[in-house]
Amino acid sequence: MAANQRDTRLAFGGAVPFLTLMGTLLGGQMLARAAKAALTEIDRGNNDPWWTARVGLARFYAGHILPQVAAQRTAVIKGASTVFAFDERLL
C-alpha cells in the first residue's frame, strides 16, 4: 500500500493480475461448494456419476489450477512496477 501512495499508477498496473487471481480463487470456491453438495448427495446414497464427477473436478482444480494463485499474488504485489519501468514511446 505504501508504494501505491507514492505512485498511484501501480494500482492500475496490478489490476489485471488481481482480476485473474480473483477469478481463479472464486472459481475454486464455487467448485468446492459444488463438491460439498455432491458429497452430501453421495452420502445420501445417490450414486449418479455426475456427483462423483463434481468431486473429481474440484480435486483437479485444487491440485492443478489453485496453486497458480501464489504466482498471481506475486504479480499483483511486485509486478505492477515493471509495467511502467520502460519508455512507452519505444513500444
pLDDT digits (tens, 9 = 90+) for 12-35: 888 999 999 999 999 999 999 999
User: Of 27, 32, 31, 36, whose CA–CA distance to 68 is shortest?
Assistant: 27
Q: How confident is the model at residue 49 (pLDDT cuts 50, 70, 90)?
A: very high
User: Of 90, 40, 36, whose CA–CA distance to 59 is shortest?
Assistant: 36
C-alpha cell at 66: 489453485
What is the pLDDT of the chain when averaged over all its residues? 91
**Strand ranges, E, within the chain:** none
In the DSSP assignment, the letter for residue 65 is: T
Instruction: Using a cut of 0.85, tell me whether the model's pTM lies above it.
Output: no
pLDDT digits (tens, 9 = 90+) for 68-82: 999 999 999 988 888
Sign of CA dihedral 42, 44, 45, 46: negative
Angle ∠(84,66,28) on CA atoms, nearest 5: 110
